[in-house]
Amino acid sequence: GAGVSQSPSNKVTEKGKDVELRCDPISGHTALYWYRQRLGQGLEFLIYFQGNSAPDKSGLPSDRFSAERTGESVSTLTIQRTQQEDSAVYLCASSSRETQHFGDGTRLSIL
């Protein structure tokens, strides 16, 4: 497709389980971003990938959060030992210059 694709669209899991979220960026976009959106709030930056450079992980809230990206393709965001406060929509964006294009997000619910 032409846009940013995220999967799954919804994920419900039990507290303490690990989850993996996937993002397929727009083809040719070198930059990829992960954001978290808690209910009723704006977006919080989590991590940024640019080509083969070291990622900017300054927004990751704890060491339970990690992300990987292979080259300029797919990225996965992993949350280990999930907690109820991890419940949120996780949005991925990609860009080739300054404008970020967003996917529809993964809605994560921790029971």
| Cα 96 to Cα 42: distance, rounded to the nearest angstrom | 23
Of 25, 36, 103, 110, the one binding other proteins (CB under 8 A) is 103
If one asks whether residue 25 binds other proteins (CB under 8 A), the answer comes out as: no
Of 15-23, 48-56, 66-74, 76-84: span binding other proteins (CB under 8 A): 48-56
Of 14, 28, 39, 42, the one binding other proteins (CB under 8 A) is 42
The encoded tokens of residue 103 equal 């996917």
Which residues is 65 bridged to in the sheet? 79
If one asks whether residue 26 binds other proteins (CB under 8 A), the answer comes out as: no
Antiparallel, parallel or unpaired: β 75-79 and 65-69 = antiparallel
Map tokens 């690990």 to a residue.
18
25 φ, ψ to 5°? -75, 170
Site for other proteins, rule CB under 8 A: 4, 6, 33, 35, 41-43, 45, 48, 50, 56, 59, 91, 93, 98-105, 107
